[in-house]
Amino acid sequence: MSIRPFFGTALLLAFSTGVLQAQTFFQQQLANANFYSAYQNKDGRLKAEFAEKHLEYPPRYIYIRAFKYDSQLEVWVKQSMADTFTLFKTYRICALSGTMGPKRKEGDRQVPEGFYYINEFRPNSAYHLALGLDYPNYTDRVLAGGSEAGGNIFIHGSCVTEGCIPLTDPQIEEVYLLAAYARSEGQEFIPVHIFPIRFDQKASLDYLDGIEQTGDLSLKFWQNLENAYDYFQATHQIPVIMYDSRGHYVLQERATEAASLTAR
């Protein structure tokens, strides 16, 4: 019995695996027709917008903030860990489901609130392009109180939602492209912080105060979110956020951003 066919197949598989590993994440994404089309549509335009704002393109690090009451999603960028973040663009969230307050069970149509990171790139999404979030995190699971917390939360296109953060297709092409560049440059954990409001705007605070007065149990949770919001507003650096045994967020203001990756 000859072993040549097996040996040849093994060499081919080893070669293919080596080629795939040698490719950058971005190159792997470009192999998808949907992402390649987004790249053709948006790369030149984004490069020009970065140049207009005196920002280096592509970004090595990005940070995403979303605000439910304002229906806005921000993308912040920087080139090194030591840099502070600069706001690149604010996008309009084109639809929202649920109300103010965190997501606590499957099927409640709530958009989560809290601190997440992108854990999936889905270029073949039914919603054009989609960036998955690591919901439910530890806090979500603990504070769900035994209920099934749900999952499959994305930032995606198509402008429809049942608990996700939807953008228009042209908008998600930009956000997805920037995230793919950052991931390819080595940013393993792209943070996505979702807030109910902007905590330094009076109209938003008045709105949230009205909800709190109805006996909503989210007050302590929102205070945790506000601490992180205030820290970033003051420093343009992301605070290290950990959890206590009860599932509450704990802000580590003196820790470095790099340390936050080891805390996960």
Give the model confidence (pLDDT) of 105-125 as tens digits: 888 889 999 999 999 999 999
Q: Is residue 160 part of a domain?
A: yes
Q: pLDDT tens for residues 42-97? A: 999 999 999 999 999 999 999 999 999 999 999 999 999 999 999 999 999 998 88
DSSP code of residue 69: T
* CATH code at position 183: 2.40.440.10
Q: Cα–Cα distance between 89 and 54 in angstroms, integer?
A: 13
Q: Percentage of residues in the chain with pLDDT exceeding 70?
A: 84
- Within its chain, how far is the Cα of 108 from the centroid? 21
10 Å Cβ neighbour count for 208? 20
CA geometry: angle at 163 spanning 117 and 115, to 5°? 25
Alpha carbon distances (Å) from 158 to 52, 119, 154, 172: 28, 20, 12, 9
DSSP code of residue 193: E
Count of domains forming the chain = 1
Token pair listed for 108? 């409640």
pTM value is 0.86
Q: Is residue 47 part of a domain?
A: yes
Q: Which helix (H) or strand (E) segment is 74 a member of?
A: strand 72-78
Q: Is residue 111 part of a domain?
A: yes
* Residue range of the domain that includes 63: 23-237
pLDDT of 214 > 70? The answer is no
Q: Is residue 12 part of a domain?
A: no
Q: Which of 191, 187, 261, 172 is nearest to 25 (CA)?
A: 187
Q: Is residue 210 part of a domain?
A: yes
Identify whether 239 is preceded by a cis peptide bond (ω within 30 of 0).
no
